[in-house]
Chain A
Amino acid sequence: MKGNPNPKANHHILILTYGVVLLFVGLAAYFSYFLLVKSDSVINNSYNARLDSFADRVVRGEIYSNDGRVIARTEVDGEGKETRVYPYDSLFAHAVGYSTNGKTGLEALANFYLLTSHVNLVEQVVNELSGQKNQGDSVVSTLDVDLQKTAYDALGKRKGAVVVMEPDTGKILAMVSKPDYNPNTLAEDWSHLVAEENTSGQLLNRATQGLYPPGSTFKIVTALEYIRENPSNYKDYTFDCKGIYHNGDYTIRCYHETVHGHQNLEQAFANSCNGAFSNLGLLLDLNGLKNTADQLLFNTDLALPFASSKSSYTMGAGADTWQILQTSIGQGQTQITPIHNAMLAAAIANGGTLMKPYLIDRVENAGGDVIKKFMPQSYMSLMTAVEASELTEFMGDVVTEGTGSALRTDAYTVAGKTGSAEFETGKETHAWFVGFAPAEHPRVVISVIAEEAGSGGQAAAPIARALFDLYFSK
């Protein structure tokens, strides 16, 4: 044999061996990280058929309201037949969802927890030996029965949606969508609900999936962009409102052609003066407005833990005058979901920082021990604290001076914005209200849309009023 051309061969083998070992340490660490941290969110996926097989060994757990009232439970009869029961019938239809014909809402979101049992070991063994299933973990939601019921009743027979949430945590306290369905009889009603001739869309959760023209609630975005472009002199903007604003061949009307007269930015916002905002829109940098809208999560998948639609804002540079006039007041092509509108108001209420909306507060085993607790998480910062406080002031004026008079009370102060969104000529407008209270130190945010109900101030604001009244009477 010849001499070794590489006298340090063993040393080099050692180095490469170390390299490989390091690679495997990385692989093992990644694998462990996946199992420890990531797997929970990964496996709770409707494509993961494995979860369904859990039901063979576990009785689906219960879902509670934030004060511990049962809003979904599974009853097992003598023969072991399981029935999912929703004591409040349709009250929580979209928020809690259903688990018979597929899964939606909390039933989908919490599926993994509900089908996982953490009952104690002795009980597990006893159940096993006696051939019984283990009781699945319960999920305590952030939903408040009273707020939900008030929102549900206040919306009445109208189509629409209500979202109530805490701006500083992101907890969703109420989420109502109408028309609805009764989850207790879903299986029987299914064929009717999905029938082609049924155009009511009962199964659609309008709160998160309904796309509406934002109407005047979009003036929040327009105003924010104007403030950003004119930080030192936005207060100098003035407009003389004659009820109808003419620009070339185009006309923009204020609601019921109300003549607002001389308006500065704050007054125009409070009175929801369409003329003033259309005119202001023509002064804006359209790319800037598009950027602001994008930053405020238009055209963005909200990445919520439940099904949601993307709000859309399409106007860019090169738009014609009519488009600009329309878009500045929330008409035109722009569309928004009620939850997105609630999130925008929540960010303003929380000093510019949006908290991630969530529905599950904690997971408990059948004995009531906490298995997992969910903490508020920051979603992202949507604007500066200064901008947020300026918008809060504007929104305060809406209530004290302008269209939000239905929310004037000594009990608390509300900051909000009404909207009356036109969607089809000859039909009543959709009524919007988004806002929060107390304005000085916001604790609760509300977003209301009532379809074809008239003006935001007259149809949507009273619904918010009922909710604020209840919230602050507690």
Chain B
Amino acid sequence: MINLIIDISRYLMILLIALYTYLNFRFFSFSDEIRKRKICRRQNFSMFLIHLLAYLIIWLETEDEKMLVFYVAQVIFFFSYLFLYRLIYRNVSRLLVNNMCMLLTIGFIMLTRLSFDRAMKQFVIVAAAALVTFAIPFVIDRVWQLSKIPWIYGIGGILLLGIVCLAGTSSYGAQLSLEFGGYSFQPTEFVKIIYVFFIATMFYRSTSMKTVLIVTSVAALHVLILVASKDLGSALIFFVTYIFMLFVATGKWLYLLAGAGGGTLASMLAYQLFGHVRTRVSAWLNPWADIAGKGYQITQSLFAIGTGGWFGMGLYRGMPRRIPVVEKDFIFSAISEELGGIFALCVLLICLGCFLQFMMIASRMQAVFYKLIAFGLGTIYIIQVFLTVGGVTKFIPSTGVTLPLVSYGGSSILSTFIIFGIIQGLYILKRNEEEEEKYEG
């Protein structure tokens, strides 16, 4: 009987996520508020239904009342988050909040299925992050000093990265995190944000040759420290983000081309210099040559995705735990295995939808500083999504990056909340402005 429920709800969940994703893109074709609100309500409905179905299965499979309590706690959290955001900020982008909640829901479902303890930890961090980041739109609106302190961002970022490089604990060959009394903390996740602020504050003042040279050197220093920490995924994210921001700030194609050329050269150099880069590349080119060793993680991921197929094995029917670090870098494979390839594709589209919203907001901002911030943060976000999904599907070599809001990890969660909070702040700022103009006009 459980099997039948799993089977039916498996298809239902795919249908619901497809509907949700469709609405996400349909939203942009409407301009009147009433229809937009209707779409958002339908999205909420889909999300809560997916959540309910998934936890029904989790409860049936585990027969553990803890799961029900956990479920109710999450429902309360999501309701209050959706409600409070609108209460505090009238002009919030509901679509963006919905997408955050949807991605968090998927993360909770998969984490609960993989490890209840981790799901609990994740929930606590999410709740705390949600609470803290409520203040961000308020801060963005009122604190002008944010655009006046480039060197605090620049030096702060380099110092933090430097500390990680020297004192960080290493995992999978890379220095990523600092340990504080049992808690590990990944400064890189936050440096990403202040790095974008640094570039934006510098370029909004001037895009003279001198500034470009200075900013390029500082950005290069960031990237080099990350390379020295062997955190190549982050190095790549920082690098591409800088090139993109430089291009948008100056409008010079030459910079984009030079960046692309330099990036290619640097990758080839990295391949020659670092053994672990060669390992990753060879594991990407032919993981089957060493299934039990270097190719183990990626082949297990491909087994998971392939065996799950379009419709998935159903929750608890796959073996996602066979993939090392599945709850972090390889969560996408677990989703694809148990919830299905279609579901996973929808997750990818929802992430892309968030990015498109970021870019729309960036386009609508008149102030260069805000424009660059929105654009830079959006770029950081989407590269991360691309690297993780591309890596686990063997589209590109795996770089060890997490899927924001879905993967397990406190630093990643908090920093993504901050990014979304800032974007939300910019959106609210813009809408408030537009409203004032309307009344005045």
Contact = CB atoms under 8 A, between A and B. Distances in A.
Interface string B363-388: 10001110100010001001000100
A383 interface: no
B305 interface: yes
Max chain B C-beta neighbours (<10 A), residue from A14, A17, A57, A129: A17
A7 B359 CA distance: 16
Contact of B363 (A13, A20, A57, A125): A13
A31 B341 contact: yes
A284 interface: no
Most chain B Cβ neighbours within 10 Å, of A9, A30, A38, A49: A9
A13 B4 contact: no
Given A5-B368, A6-B251, A9-B248, A129 B4 contact: yes
B384 to A, nearest CB: 12
Contacts of A34: 302, 305-306, 393-394
Interface string A19-49: 0110110111011101100111011010111
Interface string B182-195: 00000000000000
Q: Chain A interface mostly helix, strand, loop or mixed?
A: helix
Contacts, number: 131
B395 A27 contact: yes
Contacts of B379: 16
A27 B363 contact: no
A53 B304 CA distance: 13
Contacts of B249: 5-6, 9
Interface in A49-72: 49-51, 53, 57
B306 A12 contact: no
Contacts of A38: 306
Interface stretch (B72-80, B89-97, B160-168, B348-356): B348-356
Contacts of B38: none
A35 B305 contact: yes
A77 B305 CA distance: 35
Interface residues of A, number: 42
B18 to A, nearest CB: 14
Nearest to A42: B306
B393 A27 contact: yes
Contacts of B344: 31
B247 A31 contact: no
Contact of A47 (B4, B291, B306, B309): B291
A53 B337 CA distance: 14
Contacts of B247: 12, 16
Q: Is the interface of B mostly helix, strand, loop or mixed?
A: helix
Contacts of A23: 386
A460 B335 CA distance: 57
Contact of A2 (B204, B304, B395): B204
A377 to B, nearest CB: 20
B150 interface: no
A215 B204 CA distance: 81
A32 B250 CA distance: 38
Interface in B336-351: 341, 344-345, 348-349
Interface residues of B, number: 55
Nearest to B3: A128
B303 interface: yes
Contact of A27 (B3, B305, B362, B386): B386
Given A14-B363, A38-B306, A39-B309, A31 B393 contact: yes
Given A4-B368, A10-B363, A28-B348, A47 B390 contact: no
Most buried by A among B306, B348, B371: B306
A122 interface: no
B352 A21 contact: yes
Given A1-B368, A8-B251, A27-B348, A20 B382 contact: yes
A1 B369 contact: yes
Contacts of A26: 395
Contacts of A50: 303-304, 307, 313, 318-319, 322
Nearest to B340: A35
Interface in B407-422: none
B121 interface: no
A1 B319 contact: no
Given A6-B250, A27-B348, A43 B207 contact: no
A38 to B, nearest CB: 7
Interface in B143-169: none
A43 B306 contact: yes
B389 interface: yes
A5 B255 CA distance: 15
Contact of B1 (A12, A13, A16, A129): A129
Contacts of B207: 5-6
A9 B310 contact: no
A48 B371 contact: no
Given A50-B303, A129-B4, A35 B310 contact: yes
Contacts of B349: 28
B244 interface: yes
Contacts of A57: 3
A14 B364 CA distance: 12
A32 B345 CA distance: 9
A49 B300 CA distance: 9
B368 A9 contact: yes
Nearest to B374: A13
B362 A24 contact: no
Contact of B356 (A6, A7, A17): A17
Given A2-B368, A12-B248, A12-B251, A43 B307 contact: yes
9 cross-chain pairs, A with B, having the tightest CB-CB distances, nearest first = A39-B306, A6-B251, A43-B306, A48-B303, A5-B207, A50-B307, A10-B363, A17-B359, A35-B341
14 contacts: A1-B369, A5-B206, A5-B251, A5-B368, A12-B251, A14-B363, A16-B379, A31-B305, A47-B303, A49-B319, A50-B313, A50-B322, A125-B4, A129-B4
Given A2-B204, A30-B395, A53-B317, 8 more contacts: A5-B206, A17-B355, A23-B386, A31-B345, A32-B341, A43-B303, A47-B303, A125-B4
